[in-house]
A = this chain, B = another copy of it.
Amino acid sequence: MLNFEYHNPTKIFFGRGYETHIGRLVQPYGSKLLLHYGGKSIKRSGLYDRVVASLREAGVDFVELGGVQPNPRLSLVREGIELARKEEVRLILAVGGGSVIDSAKAIALGAVYNGDVWDFFEQKAVPERALPVAAILTIPAAGSENSPNTVLTHEALDLKVGTKNQISRPVFSILNPELCMTLPRAQIGYGVCDMMAHIMERYFTHTIHVDLTDRLCEGALRTAMENGRKLMRDSQDYDAWAEIMLTGTLAHNGLLGTGRTEDWGSHRIEHELSAIYDVPHGAGLAVVFPAWIKYVWRENPDMFLQFAVKVMDVDPSFRDKEEAILEGVRRLEAFYKTMELPTRLDELGIGDERLEEMAEKALLRGPIGGLKVLTAQDVLEILKLTLK
């Protein structure tokens, strides 16, 4: 196990009805907040009205900025920063999924920074402070409600870039599984696939003697799969949503990666896919991850055998590791299919025209991968495996 430091001060309010207490919960943070959200869904579901009613009841003053899109944009963040400064807001309240929360985190960083917020994403600057962010989560997937991570898309440059800052962890997040019940069916698969990727990117490591986090990862993956299947049968299953929501938060709050190296190659490759083609992140991951495993498993066969046996229930075939490992990948793909996800590039309506471009862009900001450090050629080979 490697040395590590871990600090996760986000307070979690989990369960039915917490969003109706939002007014009381934000009161300690001062006089005015920025209510940040996406589009129509929270208005249609009634969540917007409940939040606004609670804020008004508590006498909390607020300004609003809606319009966050999936793969949140820098342009809206800049608008939010201007608004936050002008109105002197003291807290950003994100109501939505990972895109809304990421957008809120970027506004929170930029509002108190004397420069362009994109500096943090280009690693030109390290943020020293941020406005507090609180979240009411509606889509369990990205884990942003409990993570230090923020991913933003620079539209003009076709770039989707992540940054990680401990001060970006929300001060509190509300996770009410009831809020997931109105999600479009496709979001179930996208979300489960995203959180599984967050776990697997921590799980597949070269670090040895990490029994506890290995077991936690395996348990979280099995829980995601079991309850993902349940939701495909019944999207109104509160208990299954509760498991998925809690798993999504654990998947990306950093605990599962403590004491071990991680490998974020698949996520980085997928970011190129969704930057260019604007495909849903979860769908892109379902295409990229199996290809990544097929390409890199020889770096640490025992790790992938453990995955096949302990997560995918492959009969441990210690005499023919390769067969067991590849059976593990096939079962992962079969699971994605159960979740109505694509597992090949053409199912996303994408051909092989821009593979080289994506491979080069993936490497623009330095080497990617941990278990295996990938060159542009490696990324290209992985992308080619997504065609077959």
Contacts and interface: CB of A to CB of B under 8 A. Distances in A.
Nearest to A217: B219
Nearest to A222: B215
B239 A259 contact: no
B11 A209 contact: no
A16 B1 contact: no
B211 A226 contact: yes
Contacts of A209: 239-240, 242-243
B1 A6 contact: no
Nearest to A166: B11
Residue of A208, A216, A220 with most partner-chain B CB within 10 A: A216
Q: Within the oligomer, what is the number of copies of this chain?
A: 2
Nearest to A4: B14
A8 B259 CA distance: 19
B15 A212 contact: no
Nearest to A17: B3
B5 A7 contact: no
Contacts of A1: 14-15, 177, 239, 242-243, 246
Interface string A112-132: 000000000000000000000
Contacts of A6: 11-12, 14
Contacts of A214: 219
B14 A212 contact: no
A5 to B, nearest CB: 5
A250 interface: yes
A30 interface: no
A176 B347 CA distance: 50
B220 A215 contact: yes
Contact of A242 (B10, B246, B259): B259
Interface string A243-256: 10011001000000
A277 interface: no
A258 interface: yes
A158 to B, nearest CB: 37
B5 A12 contact: yes
Contacts of A11: 5-7
A194 interface: no
A216 B1 CA distance: 19
Contacts of A247: 212
A14 B258 contact: yes
A2 interface: yes
B212 A223 contact: yes
Given A15-B259, A242-B259, 14 more contacts: A1-B15, A1-B243, A1-B246, A4-B14, A5-B11, A5-B12, A5-B13, A5-B14, A9-B9, A209-B243, A211-B223, A211-B243, A212-B246, A214-B219
8 contacts: A3-B14, A3-B17, A14-B258, A208-B239, A209-B242, A212-B243, A216-B219, A246-B258
